[in-house]
Copies of this chain bind each other. A is one copy, B any other.
Amino acid sequence: MKFEKISLACGNGASENNALIEGIFYKHFQNEILEQSNDASIFEAKGKLAFSTDSFTISPLFFNGGDIGKLSICGTCNDLVMMGAKPKYLSASFIIEEGFEVKDLEKIAISMAKECEKNGVKIITGDTKVVAKGQADGVYINTAGIGEVIYEGISASSLSEGDIIIVSNSIGKHGASIFAQREGIELVSDLASDCASLWQVLKGVFESGVKIKALRDATRGGLSAVLNEWVKASKVCIQLQEENIPISSEVQGICEFLGLEAYALANEGTFVLAVPESEAERVLELLRANPLSAEAQIIGKVDKEYEGKVVLCSSYGTKRFLDMPSGEILPRIC
């Protein structure tokens, strides 16, 4: 690249814009469709497709366990996977603040390319905008993704009495580690975001023939938000056994510091499933065989006791409602 910092001219649709696109994006995202450099990219499709989008505004841009680039690919691909789809094509759009370092942008692009590889997905169309200093915070990335549905019937409204709730991983690592970094909390441990591409885990589960009723990654709003959506959509109650919900001691420590509960903290590589009771052990076995979901646990069960409510049952036999989170929690977590 002929320049070290992004200037307004890099977003003008002309020479400097082209230099940036070729020098960074085409270089790292290279594939035959993208390189046609058309207003829109063309691909051949058949059957049911899944379509999803997310904008990423996380701060800091580089964090333990990932960066905004990795997250922008995981986030959108995971949303496709949660609907039983194999990620196929992505768009990538950048809003960059004037003065942003080209070397940081390249690091982000390299992360994106690496994560695309893990998902077997191609970035086939994109856009770059540059805004003046103080009109963004470094870089914001939007990705939209298209996937081929290979597993049908997943739905938030399909839960029924007796279904088992499984979480794939210990919860709250993304939220807790971002918070710790922002606040400069020094930890002796290696607390890192769980940011990961879940296609690698769920491909095998989809192909195994087990029955999954509901599936969702517990991103913003955490475990609480997912389960509260499910009980409302399915008009059921979920009772959770508090002692079975995996939470690392590092996350627990940050939560005490924050005065928050790990249930509401964001995850970026952790998902929740509802499966028929007869399938629970098999699903657990499949998940535990993969390092990304080695901590998978059965955490609760669906019944009808308190319709529309998530109930947290302690080992002392006490019960309380786990509500949909509200308030600011942690802004710019993804």
Q: Mark A residues whose CB is within 8 Å of B.
A: 7-9, 11-18, 37-57, 78-80, 82-83, 85, 89, 91-95, 124-127, 129-132, 134-137, 140, 142, 144-147, 149, 155-156, 216-217, 219-221, 224-225, 264, 266, 324-334
Contacts and interface: CB of A to CB of B under 8 A. Distances in A.
A136 to B, nearest CB: 6
Given A11-B331, A14-B325, A131-B57, A41 B45 contact: no
Contact of A40 (B15, B44, B57, B147): B147
A50 to B, nearest CB: 4
Contacts of A78: 39
A122 to B, nearest CB: 11
B40 A50 contact: yes
A328 B53 contact: no
Contacts of A264: 14
Contact of A331 (B130, B145, B331): B130
Nearest to A132: B331
Given A40-B83, A83-B38, A53 B131 contact: no
A325 B12 contact: yes
Contacts of A93: 53-55, 142, 144
The interface centre, meaning the residue of A85, A155, A326 with most chain B CB atoms within 10 A of its CB, is A326
A41 B210 CA distance: 23
A16 B52 contact: no
B331 A127 contact: no
Contacts of A9: 326-329
A15 B146 contact: no
A156 B155 CA distance: 43
A10 to B, nearest CB: 10
A39 B217 contact: yes
Contacts of A155: 38
Contact of A131 (B38, B41, B137): B137
A44 to B, nearest CB: 6
The residue among A12, A16, A324 with the most chain B CB atoms within 10 A of its own CB is A12
A77 to B, nearest CB: 10
A144 B45 contact: no
A145 B91 CA distance: 10
B53 A42 contact: no
Contacts of A132: 331-332
A286 to B, nearest CB: 21
